[in-house]
Amino acid sequence: AKATIIVDKDYRIASVDKNIYGSFIEHLGRAVYSGIYEPGHPNADEQGFRTDVLELVQELGVKIVRYPGGNFVSGYNWVDGIGPKDQRKRRLELSWKSIETNEFGIDEFVDWCRKAQTEVMAAVNLGTGTPQEAGNLVEYCNHPSGSYWSDLRIKYGHQKPHNIKVWCLGNEMDGPWQICHLEADDYGKKARETAKIMKWIDPDLKLVVAGSSGPGMPTFPEWDRTVLEYTYEQADFISLHRYYENLGDNDDFLASYIDMDRFIRSVAATADYVKAKVRSKKTMMLSFDEWNVWYMKQVKLQPWEQAPAILEDRYSLLDALVVGGMLITLINNADRVQMAALAQLVNVIAPIFTEKGGRVLRQTTFYPFAMAAHYGMGTVLHPLIRGDQQGTKSYDAAPLVHSATVYNEEKAELTVFVLNRSKEPLHLDLDFRSFGKLSFLEHQILDGPDLNACNDFEHPDRVKPRQVTPKDAAASSFAVHLSAYSWNMLRFR
Ligand code: AHR
């Protein structure tokens, strides 16, 4: 198989917003308890945060973390999670049928994010929660002092405001599974009134209105149109959620990014229709704040355990290639997708996996995310791709290579991410005609003989990228060999 990618400095799509490299921690399974927080663990710090996990979160390069849900948030009373820990209430948590001890709440999460060097994307409860309670949470977190809620934060040990600027207005409110699910008109009105209260308290907030839980929802895209008509003035983003799983056809699964791209374009088109209808000058941005591979059919809830081991998917090389393909799609949509979250971060459908009381592991999906988060910053250039194409069961013929190119002007570095979804090795010609001569710095390759291979505690490095040091002289075009079924990062300066 063969392909050519032509990259030109002038074919700019947009600058990458660092927040597309976000992730997600929900009070679900072992994401918080024995994931990021485990007092008594040999690596726990004075606040009970696992430093081995903190190190990997930084290595992953996560820029913003969504919290506390997810489905969890729609039944959560945030006040349960503040104040002296010995007085916090144990609750029945209805979305995942678990016992929530509330040992960890918003103050702990903000402290954890500071240590992880990441920002906070908080969510308010628009299921059982009221607009007033959402406003109280913003006052608690962001108001400097001199009011009931801000003084309570100070009393509980945080003199300085948390200054959380990004907030989700509920979660998946279109889904019948959601605690206190709403119809689109009802959610639209509730989200708008909540947004008004939140922005009156802190006008600098960026608010994410809950879009459809996926393109397969019967109410998509009417839901998105309706809620945007109510909230267009107050909202800054609309959310998208989408998970993929292998239904037994590897080639079809590998092409999942095509569906993700279509979903993004449909939501952008819907938002642009509303923009025209409400005569707005503002363009609505997209927050793809739940995306991943998730083997949903395997979910078996275990009521009423504390931090049960649920949704602990173990990812294969193939899953990592699919995640890599989706990262490329997010980058190529940088003009509209300005925030995103790989769902989730630790233990629960996550790139980082822990043993309770023990070790921590990088899953296969850790690697494409880390490479993109570290090197995928700058201006996205539109790659012109020519070459062999292939269709799959669900998708029409499309190039066998899927690619995003990012030019970091400050460092004068060009990074090319390429997925080769062909079962054959591929000969790739890269044509950087407008760049003059470039040096080929490195080629990182994620591939392997067994697409089903996973990392585990006995073989933590079974799947990891290998590096090839190129020997090419400086040039404006390069010929590169891509192995079969591989995800590649190529860097030039
Ligand atoms: O990420 C797991 C769950 O998936 C989230 O709680 C929910 O928002 C989505 O359905």
Q: Give the count of beta carbons closer than 10 Å to the beta carbon of residue 68.
A: 25
The predicted structure's pLDDT at residue 173: 98
- pLDDT exceeds 90 at position 68: yes
Kindly list the domain boundaries of the chain, sorted by start residue. Answer: 2-9+381-492, 17-375
Which of 290, 312, 342 to mutate to test ligand 1, by most ligand atoms within 8 A of the CB atom? 290
| Residue 290 is among the residues annotated as catalytic for this protein | yes
Cis peptide before 467 (omega within 30 of 0): no
Tokens of 453: 């291979």
Nearest residue by C-alpha to atom 2 in ligand 1: 70
- Domain 2-9+381-492: homologous superfamily in CATH: Golgi alpha-mannosidase II (2.60.40.1180)
pLDDT digits (tens, 9 = 90+) for 361-379: 999 999 999 999 999 999 9
- Looking at 93, 172, 312, 409, which residue is catalytic? 172
CA distance 32 to 26: 7
Q: Which atom of ligand 1 is found nearest the CA of 177?
A: 10
pLDDT digits (tens, 9 = 90+) for 180-232: 999 999 999 999 999 999 999 999 999 999 999 999 999 999 999 999 999 99
Q: Which atom of ligand 1 is found nearest the CA of 72?
A: 6
17-375: which CATH topology? TIM Barrel (3.20.20)
| Residue 172 is among the residues annotated as catalytic for this protein | yes
DSSP type of residue 284: P
Maximum distance among all alpha carbons in the chain? 67
Q: Which atom of ligand 1 is found nearest the CA of 69?
A: 6
pTM: 0.97
Nearest residue by C-alpha to atom 8 in ligand 1: 70
CA distance 217 to 398: 26
Which of 320, 396, 306 lies closest to 37 in space, CA to CA? 306
- ipTM of this complex prediction, to 2 decimal places: 0.99
- pLDDT exceeds 90 at position 463: yes
3-state secondary structure of 415: strand
Give residue ranges with CB within 6 A of ligand 1: 26, 69-71, 171-172, 290, 343-344
